[in-house]
Amino acid sequence: MHALVEQLRGTLLPAVVTPMDTDGVIAYDALTAYARRIAAEPIGGVAVWAHTGRGLYLSVGDRSKVLETWRQVTNVPIVAGVGVPRSEPAQTLQEAADATVAMAVQAAAGGADAVMVYPLAALGGLPDGHAQAVALHERVAAESGLPLVGFYLHGEAGGYPYPPELIRDLLSLDAMLGVKTATLDRAIGCQDAIWAGRGTGKLLITGEDRMFGPSFMWGADTALVGIAAAQVGLSAAVLRTWTSGEHSAFLTASDRLDRFAAATFYAPIEGYVQRMLWAAVWEGLIPEDAAHDPYGPDVPGQERELVVHCLEELSHYPAT
C-alpha cells in the first residue's frame, strides 16, 4: 500500500472522457487513439469510469472494454470509479452498497490498481451515516481486494459534504490510499477536508477544477481531475511548478489553468463534460463524431466558441 501511495504522490491522474456518438455508443477506435495520446503525457496514473467519463452510465460490457482499452495502452496505475450504475437504480441503501461492491469487483477483474468510491448521498442525512460510510469502504476493500480512494463530491454531482471526522476515519483504514475532494466552489469544505488528512501519510488528492492552484496551497499533494481530460499540460504545469517550489512559474501556470477552467466549468456544471469533449476535438485528441455527451444538458454552440477562443488565446503564450 505504501508503495502505491508514494508512486502516486505528487502526480497527475486525468479523469478521462469516453468518446461517444449522439446515442451513447462508444467509439472504441477513437478511445484507443485518445488513450495512447493521454498515456504519452506527463501523468502518474489515469482515472476511468469517473464522472467525466460517464462511468455510471456505461453498461457492464462497455465498462469492461473501456478499462481493457486503457490497460492495454499504459502501465501507469488505473483508478476506477465505482458506485451505483444509472441502469441499475437502487431502492435501498443495501442495494446501493451491493451495486458499488459489484462494480469494484469488476474493476479488480479488469486489472484496475485501485477504486474511487462514489459517495452514497443518502448517508449524509442519517444518524449512523458516518458509520455506514466507513463500513461501505471497508466492504469494498475486502471484497475487491483493491486499495481505495475516498471521494468527497459536491451535491450537484450527486455527493454530499464529508465532515472532517469522516475524512479522518476513512484515511485511518489500511486500504485507503487517500481522499479526493471535488467540492466545486466550496473553499471552506475543501480546506477542512485537506487539513483533516494532514499527518496521516495518505494522499491528499485535489479534484478541484475551479480551485486547482489554491488547493495545493491548502495542502493537496496529488491531482485527479476532469480538467486534465484535455490539455493535460496545463494541469501538469501547475502541479510541477508547485512541487518544485517555482512559485513565480506556479502563478503563471495557475492563471493559465484557471482561464481554461472558467471556459469549461460553470453552470450548468454538468455541461463541463461536453465542453471538455470540445476541447479534446480542438486539440486533436478525438474526432468530431465521437465528441458527444448524451447524458448531460443541452449546451449551446456559443459555449463551444468560448472554449475554442480560450484555447486559441492560450496557444499564443508559451507554456510554463
For 215, phi then psi, to 5°, come to -65, -30
For 56, phi then psi, to 5°, come to -75, -10
Place of cell 443518502: 122
List, in order of start, the domains of the chain with CATH numbers.
2-315 (3.20.20.70)
pLDDT digits (tens, 9 = 90+) for 110-142: 999 999 999 999 999 999 999 999 999 999 999
pLDDT digits (tens, 9 = 90+) for 52-108: 999 999 999 999 999 999 999 999 999 999 999 998 888 999 999 999 999 999 999
pTM for the predicted model, two decimal places: 0.96
End-to-end CA distance of the chain: 33
Residue 222 contacts residue 13 (beta carbons within 8 Å) = yes
Q: Which of 153, 148, 71 is nearest to 120 (CA)?
A: 153
For 21, phi then psi, to 5°, come to -90, -175
pLDDT higher at 91 or 49:
49
Q: Which of 4, 1, 15 is nearest to 264 (CA)?
A: 15
